Amino acid sequence: MARKRKGLPIHGWFNIDKPAGMSSSDVVTRVRRYTGAAKAGHGGTLDPLATGVLPIALGEATKTVSYAMDGLKTYRFEVRWGIATTTDDTEGEVLEESSARPVREAIKAALANFTGDIEQVPPAFSAIKVNGRRAYELARRDEAVELAPRQVHIEELSLVEVCDGDRAVLEMTSGKGVYVRSLARDLARALGTVGHVAWLRRTAVAGFLESDAISLDKLEALGHSAAASDILLPVETVLDDIPALALTQQEANRLRHGQGIAVLPVASRSPFKDISQGDTVVAMAEGKLVALAKIAGGEIRPVRVMNY
């Protein structure tokens, strides 16, 4: 028999504004402590140096975390030209220096080469595994870290401000797996100098926006109160781009028990007319998420069932 988790059965999302100096896992731990939630996870890692939007999934919302991680993310960050560090940010030791400084026109011209599908080598100080060990563990021991380039997608990259000769602020919207530290490193090299990330703030993750984020201090003050429930977002928050189908209670109960239901009666009640074989759908009943499901063999078949 599975061991029952200790804590409250809280289901949904908090949009947390992560402070600097704290890991994403630390934030998850704080949220569980403040709310008493039995289960929690985050929707996309932020480095300790970084601040900004960190979606925290509670309870059954943890089953939808991958949709937050796979969604577009927006970052604002400052590149410090002329200094390369071991970590590609301010926390590392100085590795190399250069007197060259790029001008505004050169920076703007170079950005096109870092937009779209590009190859990117992750930083040596990253959580990627090399022969079963985290890259940052090897890097801290001064062991050689060889990471293969990965294809990543950068939707938009723009120059926000040239602060002075040494610093520039950029904004990027990207897909999964993009390292801002690698981007700063590679952009500096392309501009004939070296560089690192001086500060980094994430302003959006999928449907979670900076303007709606709350601080950990505010969440701690709310604790287990009803006010905390008021800012808890629904489990289906990250599923807005997936067609939602309304089920009857009888249909919902079949899905909850792992059984498929005929797709035609449900589809006939739906405004979505282009649902086809293999599509993922959101099954809803009485305004609550019942399951993530797939269309297969003329049926709606449950993939991840919610257990409230």
What domain count does the chain have? 3
Enter the tokens of residue 9. 């059965």
Based on the fold, state whether residues 57 and 158 are members of the same structural domain: no
For residue 105, is it within any domain? Answer: yes
Based on the fold, state whether residues 84 and 185 are members of the same structural domain: yes
Find where tokens 């030209």 sit: 81
Phi, psi of 226, rounded to the nearest 5 degrees: -65, -30
Predicted TM-score (pTM) of this structure = 0.89
Phi, psi of 139, rounded to the nearest 5 degrees: -65, -40
Based on the fold, state whether residues 225 and 253 are members of the same structural domain: no
Q: What is the mean pLDDT of the segment spanning 265-277?
A: 80
| Domain carrying residue 219 | 12-70+207-237
Distance (Å, whole) CA 286 – CA 297 = 26
241 is known as an active-site residue: no
Residue that finishes a domain, picked among 205, 229, 262: 205
Task: Indicate which CATH number applies to the domain containing 228.
Answer: 3.30.2350.10
**pLDDT value of position 66:** 93
Based on the fold, state whether residues 77 and 63 are members of the same structural domain: no
Contact indicator for 196, 92 with CB cutoff of 8 Å = yes
**pLDDT value of position 229:** 80
Find where tokens 């990471």 sit: 147
For residue 2, is it within any domain? Answer: no
3-state secondary structure of 238: helix
Catalytic residue among 47, 88, 89, 186: 47
Distance (Å, whole) CA 243 – CA 228 = 29
Based on the fold, state whether residues 201 and 223 are members of the same structural domain: no
Using one digit for the tens of pLDDT, what is the confidence trace for 18-62?
999 999 999 999 999 999 999 999 998 899 999 999 999 999 999
Using one digit for the tens of pLDDT, what is the confidence trace for 212-242?
999 999 999 987 776 678 899 999 999 988 9
**pLDDT value of position 71:** 93
